[in-house]
Amino acid sequence: MSEHSKNYSSEYAHCRENPEAFWLDAAAAVDWDVSPTRAYSDVDAPISRWFPDGELNTAFNALDRHVAAGRGEQIALIHDSAMLGAVRTYTYSELTMAVARFAGVLRAQGVGKGDRVVIYLPMIPEAAIAMLATARLGAVHSVVFGGFAANELAVRIKDASPKAIVTTSGGLEPNRNVEYLPTVHEALATAGATALPVIVKHRDGFATEPGSLDWNTVDWDAAMEQAQPAAPVSVRATDPLYILYTSGTTGTPKGVVRDNGGHAVALLWTMENLYGIGAGDVWWTASDVGWVVGHSYIVYGPLLAGATTLVYEGKPVGTPDAGAFWRVIEQHGVKALFTAPTALRAIRKMDPAAQLLEKYDVGSLETLFTAGERLDTDTFHWAGKVLGVPVVDHWWQTETGWGIVGNPRGMATLPIKAGSPTLPLPGYDLRIVDGMGTEVATGEEGNIVLGLPLPPGTLTTLWGDDQRFIDSYLRAFEGFYATGDSGYRDEDGYVFVMGRTDDVINVAGHRLSTGSIEQVVGKHPAVAECAVIGVADALKGQKAVGYVVLKTGVSIGAEQLQKELVALVRKEIGPVADFKNATIVEALPKTRSGKILRKTMRQIADGVDYKVPSTIEDMGVIEYLIPVLRPGKP
Ligand code: COA
Ligand code: AMP
């Protein structure tokens, strides 16, 4: 017997048949300054306009309204730093005040409605405060993950042309302190933006002092003391809330644009219906604010819902051990945890029998949600067995901002099938099609596409480049958004997501473009040409591996070249690329038109069936490469 009042099939059908009614009903959970009278407008199609005549402020919805509702003393945010062994909490009143003050700091630097603010911060409360303060002013944030190097930060600064940058002295990794200021300094120089104000949250233990650099810095703490709190600025629902850059197939990242109104409505809907989380519940997303998962479910989703969100600065293992997650669940009474399968694999590798779990009481935990990469069945079964709670996969992307396929735990009790994130969520018209756009049969793998318009909260466009948005997502299959993933449906309609159809790879739940790594590898003076592919990795899902052909007459040792290429990728893209392997080869397999057969290479490396296109230039190259791609394997 279901304890739920809703039924998946009827909710899904209702949304399909009457999206206006469905989403206007969901929109009632938001506090609007001007209530929307319509859910959707196709006036700018194919660019979606959700709640076109609504006005609101997202930060007000995430903070002030909970205080007004009498929950000011409830904990809004817990910062648990496993790196420092410290915990800090903010009540809704305190967080509202901090955000209003920091909005005052930004305003004093000239930031207003529609202006951009680039945020380069690790997992500290100031990251959430800076995001919400930007939103409070009706401005647009662009958060850059701390594992990216100066060049990647520079590309994002150039594209977003911000009015200010917010950063800190540095971030804490288990094996080192990461100095942020030299990176920001270099990025500003590369972007030609050295005059921009840089607001710096001081942290002890870092070598570079802001004053030692010739730039326009503002001390976070001093500015907060003097700041006048700023009131929330009402914006149109269709105005942008943030830009989040993600890897495409080329070296230039795509600036995914999220609006205010659709985003608030969709995230609130998911907190209740997908995750079963409401006001007062303790919710923990173990990710990073630099990724979409962090935007949606560390910051906005839980705060919009009035829950308590946990900001965890640490790793699943090594901070100090593989019991870290269980310690956090016990200490803070976490009701639901959302993490990437990689984190679970890392814990399992260190503590296969989950002996460390015996030290903790994790009885508060009701559900474990995973996303970011495919949840392999071994990890699914292991986690379910050791934790004794449902392990619920869901599939989505930076572009959608929330689950496309999921098991809506707050709404219904749908059976969980290992290897499947379950069924399409309301608002997503999901089809599996062949290369010509024709739907394939049940059980047959194809391209996963989504009917237009996409539901609220999904990307509206790419920053400053509507044409690239159309070309990247809407051209391949007319009337549909191409997800770039392939998969199939079983006889119950359950979706199984198998992997990317393009050159995007997924390393430890981090999305990377092999094209951008190739661009960097190709810069090395010894390299004539190269291919970077993502090969299967037991811990991280995939890892990027490079195969390089040397320029004629160049002589360099394999070990030396690998060392130099690894250092180059780390410097140009950042440690997050986790690029550790490069092999010298005599040739790369190509089609007669010169296209490198990366997919065939990947299939050979992974030991799965591979197909060689008939257009291959020289079959001998494949025969030569097989033992190179699969060293020591049959
Ligand atoms: N700032 C600077 N460097 C960072 C960083 C950050 N925010 N995050 C990661 N890095 C660095 C790491 O220190 C590491 O550097 P190294 O090569 O010097 O060791 C490199 O980037 C690769 O990091 P990572 O992929 O995290 O690998 P790891 O071996 O350090 O840890 C796991 C392995 C599985 C523990 C880790 O990948 C993990 O916690 N994964 C969960 C992923 C996740 O939450 N993804 C979010 C998507 S939902
Ligand atoms: P990102 O935009 O970084 O969140 O990466 C999105 C991509 O990660 C998707 O297009 C998928 O390839 C992959 N992905 C995310 N979640 C899942 C999942 N639950 N199952 C399979 N693949 C996933």
Instruction: Tell me if residue 501 falls in helix, strand or coil.
Output: coil
The answer, yes or no, to whether any atom of ligand 2 lies below 6 A from the CB of 330, is: no
**Closest of 33, 71, 74, 77 to residue 55, by C-alpha:** 33
195: tokens are: 């005059």
Give the model confidence (pLDDT) of 553-585 as tens digits. Answer: 999 999 999 999 999 999 999 999 999 999 999
343 C-beta closer than 6 A to ligand 1: yes
Would you say residue 1 has pLDDT above 70?
Answer: no
Q: Which atom of ligand 2 is closest in space to residue 506's alpha carbon?
A: 8
C-alpha–C-alpha distance, residues 411 and 306, integer Å: 19
What is the residue-averaged pLDDT of the chain? 95
- Ligand 1 contact via 171 beta carbon (within 6 Å): yes
Q: Rounded to an integer, what distance in angstroms lies between the CA atom of residue 49 and that of residue 283?
A: 30
Strand pairing category for 308-313 and 282-285 = parallel
CA atoms within 13 A on the CB side of 542: 29
Q: Ligand 2 within 6 A of 395 CB?
A: yes
The identity of residue 489, as a single letter, is: R
CB of 98 closer than 6 angstroms to any ligand 2 atom: no
pTM of the shown model? 0.95
Q: Which among 403, 381, 283, 388 has a CA at the least distance from the CA of 338?
A: 283
Taken as a whole, the chain contains a residue count of 634
Cis, bond preceding 125 (omega within 30 deg of 0) = no
The three-state (H, E, C) secondary structure of 34-53, written as one string: ECCCCCEECCCCCCCEECCC
For the cut 50, the answer to whether the pLDDT of residue 487 exceeds it is yes
**Model pLDDT for residues 316-352, shown as the tens digit of each residue:** 999 999 999 999 999 999 999 999 999 999 999 999 9
| The predicted structure's pLDDT at residue 304 | 98
Choose the residue to mutate in 246, 377, 395, 496 for probing ligand 2, maximizing ligand atoms within 8 Å of C-beta.
Answer: 395
pLDDT for residue 172: 97
Q: What is the pLDDT of residue 2?
A: 44
SS3 annotation, 222-288 = HHHHHCCCCCCCCEECCCEEEEEEECCCCCCCEEEEEECHHHHHHHHHHHHHCCCCCCCCEEEECCC
As a 3-state breakdown, the chain gives helix, strand, coil percent values, each rounded to 5, of 35, 25, 40
Q: What is the pLDDT of residues 583-632, one digit of tens each?
A: 999 999 999 988 899 989 999 999 998 888 888 889 999 999 999 998 87
C-beta of residue 616 within 8 angstroms of C-beta of residue 576:
no
Q: What is the pLDDT of residue 613?
A: 85
Predicted confidence (pLDDT) at residue 236 exceeds the cutoff of 70? yes
With contact defined as beta carbons under 8 Å apart, do 348 and 116 qualify?
A: no
389-434: per-residue pLDDT in tens? 999 999 999 999 999 999 999 998 899 999 999 999 999 999 999 9
Domains of the chain: 8-314+394-486 (3.40.50.12780), 508-629 (3.30.300.30)
Q: What integer pLDDT is reported at residue 3 of this predicted model?
A: 61
* Closest approach atom of ligand 1 to CA 171: 1
CB 402 within 8 A of CB 457: yes
Strands 75-81 vs 86-91: parallel, antiparallel or unpaired: antiparallel
For 138, left (φ over 0), alpha (ψ -120 to 50), or beta? left
Condensed to tens digits (0 to 9), the pLDDT of residues 433-445 reads 999 999 999 999 9
Average pLDDT rounded to a whole number, residues 508-526? 93
